[in-house]
Structure 1
């Protein structure tokens, strides 16, 4: 057997150089993903105390130049790493394989060097750094942004060339490089749902936040107390009648009208009336009245809230486009629409808006918000709908005033009219529709 020639010393210093290159590659990969994933509001808050956050904001403001800088760094390091692994490690590894009588030892040596280098480059130079970046993007972006900014200045000519070249490609393709960072309401709702599922927020918090988003652009007529349910005082009534009506009012602020609820002239606070009666003074409702703001029925909920904040009396009189009185809106209506009615505000206290049995069947009040119904049953309503309650939803589907026992299916649910008073739908039963249910009306 021919003796093997003596082995050349293994280039451990080149191994250290390769490890350093992989580490730098990981730093670039981590910095790139961290800056891209960082939330701008959080970086702006950190920028007050950390220069690195300001540098990260400067980089993210020009994504084309930033990505070009990162590509220059990563490509340069990858090229050096490939050269080191192939030229300086392939030969020594091949010699040692040849000493073990491995066929094609030199070819295998280069293969082993490239495979091992690629493996560690993927793990230590890409995957692990990027996973770290996703865990704390803003902190890592602030830590690495200043060195990246220096690199951007050092490699300015190459960065400029790459940036302009990519801009030219976008132009030829008829595309724009400007990012559209608009957040839709649906994305916010999905984020809230994810936060709830992750245990970050509680169910009642989710309902309130979702309620605010849902109601922001909805018309005020969807949350108002309708005309037929408005309690009011007749200014022409005598003291015994006023006292009786006052005792039956569910709210402290009451509309005052002359003869009819359609002729409201102001609002009076119950405590002002009680104060006058306790002093034994003559009750003059007109003197105690205060003007109430007029709110068009298509005003958004948030705009109505602003009007109530600025008004002398936080009770708005809702009118339609023809000037007809439709109902009243108060801060309590806004709160109830977001978080649900309070037990003390529900007439009779034994008539909840939603009743659910063990089999998953529901009895819904006709005056229940259509949005609350949709949330409970798990489906979406049309944004351009012209109804606000469960009763309105039923009428929009049936297209006529139904009779007790009439039914229809919608969104996988069977709805049945359970109770009607006059022309008003009071109760609707809801159960899951299946193949055996009756056909849709």
Structure 2
């Protein structure tokens, strides 16, 4: 009985450890020179024969365990019941039932539950220990393995099921691993958020990171030297678009370093000088941040003007804007430049231009209503109110109250978000004033 339980436990460990072994961890061990990890990966690619041997072993041992257990224990338990003054028929029945219960319990506990839980905790280490003995078993039982494997392959073809394990790693897999690492403490929460932000580059449009049209500091090409110097002092930026009269007629851009160099050398500044004005990259507002990064790399630039389908300028974006989206909270912004300011545990002051993805992350909201119709918090307010919001307009949704605090020329500057109690919360509540 002891030998059969050990043998059954071996097959249980072999089964669960192979199934639970992580491909990435095995590849790492193989790169470190462990040949057993390579064997385990090869078995994972074609596990049919391996699991066939496991099932042959487990079923054969279970049947033998029942026979041995009944033969070894039934007489003892029958004698015990006879000693307790039961008649012969009742003693044999009770002895058989008790031997069946004891045998089954021993196999469940020591040949199934314990080894499988052990295999789940250390799958790669155990899989590498049992892979060579299992290969020996596969050679010994090769005729039986061939028969059962061909029969199983026929069933897979009959039901049109895949016969090979799919080891492709998706972005969802990586994000899930990063989240698990953050929960276990192996990865800092902010580092896990950076990884999530990287994958968001393929879904977030450039408008979520751009400087909006009304906040762009630009030069007209015919502006005099004195005006340019005053503009630099009043609005110090690294790059300025240069326009022919109005902002929608961008002809290039000028780098602040070139302007500063001329100022320091006491040279006049004239934007009519083609040597000073550089060619500007113009991109549509429907591009994702990942596509904008590709454009930057192709033209070796770090500044772009964004236009809509009507060729109107809607904003500008820099490489720093995109990287700030990726780095998130790891970058320390001045307080007056933060888009989301947490006032306390239940309230936030949020800029209307904040992307909805950042709002969801700050408020721990999984989904926003009508999310395909807007990209910013201001857009959310407009869609929910069905008009241009006014000061003190509120929307209550998902356990939060969104109140417009400041509107500047139809643009929502600030929104106060407060957590509301369950009694006050309704699915959607809109207050117009």
Calculate the TM-score normalised by the size of structure 1. Answer: 0.84
Structure 2: distance between partners of 1:269 and 1:341: 28
The change in CA–CA distance for 1:186 and 1:410 in structure 2 (over 3 A counts) is: farther
Task: Tell me the residue number matched to 2:379.
Answer: 392
Kindly provide the CA deviation profile for residues 246-301 of structure 1, in whole angstroms up to 9, marking residues without a partner as x: 23345323323333222222233222222233233444553133333332222221
Structure 2: distance between partners of 1:112 and 1:240: 103
Of 196, 201, 219, which aligns to 2:182?
196
Structure 1: distance between partners of 2:305 and 2:30: 47
Once the 2 structures are TM-superposed, how far is the Cα of residue 191 of structure 1 from its aligned partner? Answer: 4.8
Alignment of 1:104-123 (within 5 A): 104=88, 105-123=91-109
Kindly provide the CA deviation profile for residues 9-46 of structure 1, in whole angstroms up to 9, marking residues without a partner as x: xxxxxxxxx22221222122112111111221222232
Task: Tell me the residue number matched to 2:395.
Answer: 408
Structure 1: distance between partners of 2:87 and 2:29: 59
Structure 2: distance between partners of 1:268 and 1:287: 10
Task: Figure out how many residues of one structure are paired with residues of the other and give that number.
Answer: 422
The change in CA–CA distance for 1:184 and 1:382 in structure 2 (over 3 A counts) is: farther
Task: Tell me the residue number matched to 2:25.
Answer: 42
Q: Secondary structure at the match of 1:255?
A: strand
Of 233, 248, 261, which aligns to 1:262?
248
Task: Tell me the residue number matched to 2:115.
Answer: 129
Kindly provide the CA deviation profile for residues 371-395 of structure 1, in whole angstroms up to 9, marking residues without a partner as x: 1111222221379624221101111
Once the 2 structures are TM-superposed, how far is the Cα of residue 173 of structure 1 from its aligned partner? Answer: 4.7
8 Å contact from structure 2 (residues 350, 417) kept in 1: yes
CA RMSD in angstroms, aligned pairs only: 3.1
Of 3, 14, 25, which aligns to 2:8?
25
The change in CA–CA distance for 1:146 and 1:231 in structure 2 (over 3 A counts) is: farther
Task: Tell me the residue number matched to 1:78.
Answer: 62
Alignment of 1:243-258 (within 5 A): 243-258=229-244
Task: Tell me the residue number matched to 1:326.
Answer: 314
Of 53, 61, 68, which aligns to 1:69?
53
8 Å contact from structure 1 (residues 225, 329) kept in 2: yes
Of 325, 331, 336, which aligns to 2:324?
336
The change in CA–CA distance for 1:308 and 1:356 in structure 2 (over 3 A counts) is: same
Matched, 1:217 2:199: no
Structure 1: distance between partners of 2:309 and 2:352: 25
Kindly provide the CA deviation profile for residues 201-241 of structure 1, in whole angstroms up to 9, marking residues without a partner as x: 33322332332233432222222112221222333222222
Calculate the TM-score normalised by the size of structure 2. Answer: 0.85
The change in CA–CA distance for 1:344 and 1:128 in structure 2 (over 3 A counts) is: closer
Could you tell me which runs of 5 or more consecutive residues in structure 1 were left unpaired when the two chains were aligned. 1-17
Structure 2: distance between partners of 1:64 and 1:217: 39
The change in CA–CA distance for 1:282 and 1:405 in structure 2 (over 3 A counts) is: closer
Of 214, 217, 224, which aligns to 1:238?
224
The change in CA–CA distance for 1:308 and 1:112 in structure 2 (over 3 A counts) is: same
